[in-house]
Amino acid sequence: MPQYTPPVRDTRFILERVIGLGSHSNLPGFANASPDIVNAVLEEGGKFVAEILFPLNQSGDQQGCTRHDDGSVTTPEGFKAAYAQFVESGWGTLAGPEEFGGQGMPHVVATAFEEYLISANMAFAMYPGLTQGATAALLAKGSDEQKAKYVPNMIAGKWGGTMNLTEPQCGTDLGLIKTKAEPQTDGSYSITGTKIFISSGEHDLTENIIHLVLAKTPGAPDSSKGISLFVVPKFLVKDDGSLGERNAVSCGSIEHKMGIHANSTCVMNYDGATGWLVGEEMKGLAAMFIMMNAARLGVGLQGLGVGETAYQNAVQYAHDRRQGRALTGPKDPEEKADTLFVHPDVRRMLMEAKALTEGLRALCLWGALQVDLSHKAESEEERQLADDLIGLLTPVIKGYGTDKGYDIATNAQQVYGGHGYIAEWGMEQYVRDARIAMIYEGTNGVQAMDLVGRKLARNGGRAVQAFFKLVTDEVAAAKEDEKLADYAAALEKALGQLQAATMWFMANGMQNPNNVGAGAHSYMHLMGIVATGLMWLRMAKAAHTALAEGEGDKAFYEAKLVTARYFADRIMPDAGALRRKIESGSDSIMALDPEMFVAA
Amino acid sequence: MPQYTPPVRDTRFILERVIGLGSHSNLPGFANASPDIVNAVLEEGGKFVAEILFPLNQSGDQQGCTRHDDGSVTTPEGFKAAYAQFVESGWGTLAGPEEFGGQGMPHVVATAFEEYLISANMAFAMYPGLTQGATAALLAKGSDEQKAKYVPNMIAGKWGGTMNLTEPQCGTDLGLIKTKAEPQTDGSYSITGTKIFISSGEHDLTENIIHLVLAKTPGAPDSSKGISLFVVPKFLVKDDGSLGERNAVSCGSIEHKMGIHANSTCVMNYDGATGWLVGEEMKGLAAMFIMMNAARLGVGLQGLGVGETAYQNAVQYAHDRRQGRALTGPKDPEEKADTLFVHPDVRRMLMEAKALTEGLRALCLWGALQVDLSHKAESEEERQLADDLIGLLTPVIKGYGTDKGYDIATNAQQVYGGHGYIAEWGMEQYVRDARIAMIYEGTNGVQAMDLVGRKLARNGGRAVQAFFKLVTDEVAAAKEDEKLADYAAALEKALGQLQAATMWFMANGMQNPNNVGAGAHSYMHLMGIVATGLMWLRMAKAAHTALAEGEGDKAFYEAKLVTARYFADRIMPDAGALRRKIESGSDSIMALDPEMFVAA
């Protein structure tokens, strides 16, 4: 049956030796993140999710959530008790600001834990995950009164939070929103409309749920410029902080989904519910994007998190299952067959997963550190650089990370052969769960357009130039090191493809923006290869350093070097193909009359 | 809600203008396949599956099969009546030999219908599909008495058939089989053992089920050389053809699977069941491979079939859903938003699906024609060439076809955004159904090893040389034609990558067979690109010819030319990357100690 062990050894390697958490101990909050404390978070947090949440992952998928006739929703057996333990242990408070009851730890440390949480139980992780997104929006845009009223209980996990954007007629195109907000004489608004696909919209885990809702005030423009953000609590909150009357917001139904069955995905009906404006009127989209950017990094982490669990189980199955013989002759002649590990094609799938999960782990943690640095670094230059880099790479981490997470889960299932298709083995759930991450918080096609349509050009291309410089500098330094020169040359080649594709966009995008749109998805993957490739350069360098220092764990570091080579051998070659696809432009994509697509 | 229209126009184009069915009318059985008759089969067969079977696809998935306490299994509501209609209309008899009650049509015509059958309802299609596989083995290896006893009712569809290979401890490695066959004094055998993953193993559609079972006779070698094939009917058949007593074979349970819920995947228990040897003792594997090769082509067709339905629905959704605006300015300014068709990244997913489904349709039909030619062509040279080509390309059609079928279904789901993840829209079912085709009848990794480990080297590489010659000759001819020269040059380049990779295997496989194993999967895809690319060359050529002739359906042929260009622009570039991966060899894949895979 499925198993999961938090990859603490690898996380520590990345935090300590790859992104150098220790070198930032002078920054606010980072003093709370000494190696001992971080290690305790990883060990204890990992133990908690593995022992308490992972055992509920498969049963949660099988049971799903249940909506009752009165509109209430119950989560699967064991979720409520596990959530209470989660709250009591404070695992949701790691990165919350201390003034609202959080532990004030760096975002990068919370991200390391968050990966484990997702790996153990993605559907469970979405309950606190949505709360954190809603909290971030309130902290950024809410009034002091709103912050004081809602945020402490949300950080503590006593209350949940949700994001209400989508409606039946609008997903990506939020300008089409129909939900109305009518101002009332007491300064509140009456909210009326239907929201769909609301993750964690209604459940039995918390005593209150704080909904953040996009709606339009009377006379607002009929576009995304007319959207405002409102806070709509399930139970109104009295001035003394106690719960008042039930608000007119309710769950109309829960969706039947491909996966993440244990998270309640709700249709939410707002029937003149009482809400309050968050931030300025008609500036709702900007406020929502604060949530979205954090959420997109969190979704990228889901690709890694689910991929990691799927990968670990595939490795275990390859140890346990004996089938056929090595091409080079029997490996275990005393047994009736060799283990799956002797077969190169099984190895290919496992090495691909290893190269991608470890590479994405480094990229996600590096990205989380940029979030910290964008707020806390000492100089304006450093803060701006970090903000530029994470702004550029957020769609890459989301889009490339989740596309690859799905591939990893699919390959891990493939290692199991026929057993992978059978529910009780647990592997098909990872594929079904991983699938949603490519869709929500903006489909991966939307991420790709965000990257090429907004992030590339912003501030005259400052961010992408900074990224190119970062990679170029590290490649140049590594080429001087004989041990890293081969790998550095491979990364330099991939970077060259990315730079050429960027130039091609500049030369061909003005005359026809579809040339950029047609290459967007390939470009996102190309940048994903280069960014993950940079992480592998750093990991290889750190491994060589540790080996030279005679640091104990020799086999671990040598495995890093083999895996870096796999990345160069088997993943980087796609860079050239992606560039060629991009440079073919939009002609063959846009030429066909829509009526001619189906040749029936 | 989902819909399906059989792509009769495209099938006819391929049969008539691409593979030239008419030019083979001199061969046995092909006279039965005049254009009028073929057209009637496509139109009427397509109508039947679309009207009777497709409406049961989603409900069948939701209900699944039910095993009762007595071991009987009922299929979902409507299946029994639909199957009765299927039998009555004779849709299962198209390619059956006339002497056993079949219609004696060419395999290629039956394949064209089979695609529609799968598209409409893959789980349903597996019931007659397995029967056909079992029938093929009996026709090839059974005694005259066995053929007379079983085959007519199986071709008629009155009785079902199954293939029993897998056991809990063995899937790919059939040498590990434990099922025993004890000879009895009356010439029969007593079969005892457990078989798993038996598709259509028990159900309520037919009055009898004829199981073909691999088992070992006493003293047989403990390897695949010791396997024999037995026929084990659910009900014994009396000499007068009527049904006798119930045999000691029963369904122990049905599996809970990711998809194809409406097909009963059974654990079958043989408790001293009465069986009869089919063919020679200890030659069972060879007999089973007769079924398997036919079945592998059928599974390749599943990739296409499910992909086609997913694609058609994605196209319809892209017509219906309005979201956002074209990058080049509003397309439908009178509407609040443009349709999804304006977005290049949506187009990319739809064009990819169009290029692959139409390309795979041509490849599957061309492959089916090779099967016909391998039996029926006039000269031994022609028969051998056809046999060589289809032997070589069977693993490619299965492996590449089903990998791509899954990609197409995943992309089609992606076009729907969040709605794609919701069960009622039907798209997630296609992904779950398509997934199994990559696993069963030999995982795609096993297909890849069959290709590089057996098919490439057989007869001194005769088959692959014939394939290279075929592509080279058609490319050379096309380069002379100004309208085809660009496309031909792109195909020539991809062929060059394939030839270089083949040479690399020859040069590096002897010293270390893992070098071949490590590149097998990439090689299978590389050959898939070239083979499908050849089909697109032929389709482009046929389209130009039809346009030059002034044949009526101009838009159809022009769409073919755009799609061929898409294939060259966006799919062929992968050929170079695949070659580079292959040429990186096995070092970075085989170096790691299995204990070092998980870095926890």
B194 touches chain A (CB under 8 A): no
Which pLDDT score, from 0 to 100, does residue B149 have? Answer: 97
Q: For residue A74, what is the enclosing H or E element?
A: strand A73-74
Query: Which amino acid, one-letter code, is at A351?
Result: M
B332 in contact with A at a CB cutoff of 8 Å?
A: no
Token pair of B590 as six digits: 């085989």
Q: What is the pLDDT at residue B76? A: 98
Instruction: Specify the amino acid at residue A297.
Output: L
Set B114, B308, B441, B492: catalytic member: B441
Amino acid found at A393: L
Distance from the Cα of A343 to chain B's closest Cα (Å) equals 7
Burial of A99 (0-12, 13-18, 19+ CB in 10 A): exposed
Tallying the residues shown for chain A, one arrives at 600
User: Å from A97 to nearest chain B CA?
Assistant: 31
Q: Does A302 touch chain B (CB under 8 A)?
A: no
pLDDT at residue A291, rounded to an integer: 80
Q: How high is the ipTM of this complex? A: 0.97
Q: What are the distances in angstroms from CA A155 to CA A87, A94, A149, A206?
A: 9, 9, 12, 12
Write b or e for each residue in B349-386: b if 16 or more Cβ atoms lie within 10 A of its Cβ, otherwise e.
Answer: bbbbbbbbbbbbbbbbbbbbbbbbbbebbeeeeeebbb
How high is the pLDDT of residue B1?
85
pLDDT of residue B552: 83
Question: B324–A173: do the CB atoms touch at under 8 Å?
Answer: yes
Query: What's at A93, amino acid-wise?
Result: T
Using CB atoms, pick whichever of A439, A566, A596 lies closest to residue B588: A566
Cα-Cα-Cα-Cα dihedral sign, residues A33, A38, A44, A46: positive
User: Which positions ≥6 away from A487 have C-beta within 8 Å?
Assistant: A478, A536, A537, A540, A564, A565, A568
d(CA A21, CA A39): 12
Residues 515-544 of B with CB under 8 A from A: 516-518, 520-521
Q: Are B341 and A594 inside 8 Å of each other by CB?
A: yes
Report the phi/psi class of residue B274: left, alpha or beta, with left for phi > 0 and alpha for psi in -120 to 50: beta
Q: Nearest Cα to B71, choosing from B259, B231, B266?
A: B266
Whether the predicted pLDDT of B243 surpasses 70: yes
Q: How many CA atoms lie within 13 A of B107 on its CB side?
A: 18
The three-state secondary structure class of A194 is strand
**Alpha helices, DSSP H, located in A142-282:** 144-156
Q: Are A562 and B337 inside 8 Å of each other by CB?
A: no
Cβ–Cβ contact B327 with A under 8 A: yes
Judged by a CB distance cut-off of 8 A, whether residue A20 touches chain B is no
CB contact under 8 A, A435 and B431: yes
- Which residue, A528, A504, A532, A530, is CA-closest to A518? A504
Q: How would residue B600 be classed by pLDDT, with cut points 50, 70 and 90?
A: low
Give the integer Cα–Cα distance in Å for B339 and B361.
Answer: 28
In chain A, positions 220-239, which contact chain B (CB-CB < 8 Å)?
222
Nearest CA in chain A to B345: A518
**CA of A557 vs chain B CAs: smallest distance (Å):** 10
Q: Which residues of chain A have a CB within 8 Å of the CB of B254?
A: none
pLDDT tens, N- to C-terminus, chain A (600 residues): 899 999 999 999 999 999 999 999 999 989 889 999 999 999 999 999 999 999 999 999 999 999 999 999 999 999 999 999 999 999 999 999 999 999 999 999 999 999 999 999 999 999 999 999 999 999 999 999 999 999 999 999 999 999 999 999 998 899 999 999 999 999 999 999 999 999 999 999 999 999 999 999 999 998 889 999 999 999 999 999 999 999 999 999 999 999 999 999 999 999 999 999 999 999 998 888 878 888 999 999 999 999 999 999 999 999 999 999 999 999 999 999 999 999 999 999 999 999 999 999 999 999 999 999 999 999 999 999 999 999 999 999 999 999 999 999 999 999 999 999 999 999 999 999 999 999 999 999 999 999 999 999 999 999 999 999 999 999 999 999 999 999 999 999 999 999 999 999 999 998 999 999 999 999 999 999 999 999 999 999 999 999 999 978 999 999 999 999 999 999 999 999 999 999 999 999 999 999 999 855
A595 exposed, middle or buried (CB, 10 Å; 0-12, 13-18, 19+)? exposed
Give the Cα separation of A238 and A137 in Å (integer): 21
- Runs of H (alpha helix) within B121-255: 122-141, 144-156
8 Å CB contact of A414 and B7: no
The answer to whether B421 contacts A444, with C-beta atoms less than 8 Å apart, is: no
Asked about B441 being catalytic, the answer comes back as yes
DSSP string for B432-453: HHHHHHTTSSS-HHHHHHIIII
Name the H helices within A91-188.
Answer: 107-120, 122-141, 144-156
Amino acid at B212: L
More confident residue, B599 or A489: A489
10 Å CB burial of residue A542 (0-12, 13-18, 19+) is buried
CB–CB of A170 and B323 under 8 A? yes
Interface contact B454, partner A, CB < 8 A: no
Residue-level pLDDT at B157:
98
Chain B residue whose CA is closest to A447: B345
DSSP assigned state of B278:
E
Mean local confidence (pLDDT), B183-197: 98
Helix axes B574-583, B485-509, angle to 10 degrees: 10
Nearest alpha-carbon partner for A233 in A188, A266, A263: A188
Residues of chain B with C-beta less than 8 angstroms from the C-beta of A6: 600
Can you read off the two tokens belonging to residue A207? 């005593």
pLDDT at A54: 98
Interchain CB contact of B10 with A (< 8 Å) = yes
Q: For the residues of B343-377, what is the DSSP string, one character each? A: -HHHHHHHHHHHHHHHHHHHHHHHHHHHHHHHHH-
**Side-chain-facing half-sphere of B349: CA atoms under 13 Å:** 32
Residues 343-362 of A with CB under 8 A from B: 343-351, 354, 358
What are the start-end ranges of the H helices in A2-106?
A: 8-13, 35-48, 57-63, 79-89
DSSP string, B92-139: T-TTS-GGGT-----HHHHHHHHHHHHHH-HHHHHHHHHHHHHHHHHH
Across the range B109-116, mean pLDDT stands at 98
Contacts of B270 (CB under 8 A, 6+ apart): B179, B191, B192, B193, B194, B195, B213, B215, B232, B248, B249
Residue A392 · residue A467 · CB < 8 Å:
yes
* B12 close contact with A: CB closer than 8 A: no
Q: At residue B175, does pLDDT exceed 80?
A: yes
Average pLDDT over residues B157-174: 94
Residue B478: how many other CB atoms lie within 10 Å? 21
Give the DSSP letter of residue B283. Answer: -
Percent of all residues in chain B with a pLDDT value above 70, rounded to a whole number? 100
A74 Cβ contact list (under 8 Å, min separation 6): A65, A66, A68, A203, A204
Question: Do A393 and A367 contact (CB within 8 A), yes or no?
Answer: yes
Comparing CB atoms, the residue among B358, B521, B581 nearest residue A345 is: B521
d(Cα B242, Cα A490) in Å, to the nearest integer? 71
Contacts of A332 in chain B (CB under 8 A): none
Catalytic residue selected from A145, A441, A558, A595: A441
In DSSP terms, which residues pair with A189 in a beta bridge? Answer: A183, A275
CA distances from A469 to A24, A464, A472, A527, B256 (A): 22, 9, 5, 14, 52
Alpha-carbon distance of B326 to B314, in angstroms, equals 19
- In total, chain B counts a number of residues equal to 600
A11-69 residue pLDDT tens: 999 999 999 999 999 999 898 899 999 999 999 999 999 999 999 999 999 999 999 99
For residue A433, what is the nearest residue in chain B, using CA coordinates?
Answer: B421
Question: Residue A600: what pLDDT?
Answer: 53
Tally of CA atoms within 13 A in the half-sphere of A511 that contains its CB: 7
Task: Decide if B471 touches A, using CB distance below 8 A.
Answer: no
pLDDT for position A599: 59
Q: What tokens does B85 get? A: 């209609």
Helix crossing, A554-566 with A344-376: angle to 10°?
A: 100
Q: Report the distance separating Cα A346 and Cα A349, nearest Å.
A: 5
- Touching A: B residues 380-399, CB under 8 Å: none
The pLDDT of residue B53 is 98
CB B362 within 8 A of CB B539: yes
> Do the Cβ atoms of B435 and A598 come within 8 Å?
no
Above 70 in pLDDT, residue B443? yes
CB contact under 8 A, A344 and B518: yes
The 3-class SS string of A176-214 reads HCCCEEEECCCCCEEEEEEEEEEECCCCCCCCEEEEEEE
Judge whether A488 and A538 are in contact, CB under 8 Å: no
User: What pLDDT score does B52 carry?
Assistant: 98
Distance between B382 CA and the closest CA of chain A, angstroms:
33
Cα–Cα distance for residue pair A315/A326, rounded to 1 Å: 17
Encoded tokens for A367:
């990205």
Q: Are the beta carbons of B584 and A569 separated by less than 8 Å?
A: yes
DSSP lists the bridge partners of residue A233 as A210
Whose tokens are 């819909």? That residue is B3
Split at pLDDT 50, 70, 90, the class of B290 is confident
Residue B113 touches partner A, C-beta closer than 8 Å? no
Question: Within the 257-286 window of chain A, which residues sit less than 8 Å (CB to CB) from chain B?
Answer: 257-259
Residues A430/A414, Cβ–Cβ less than 8 Å: no
DSSP conformation class of B569 = I
Residue type for position A104: G
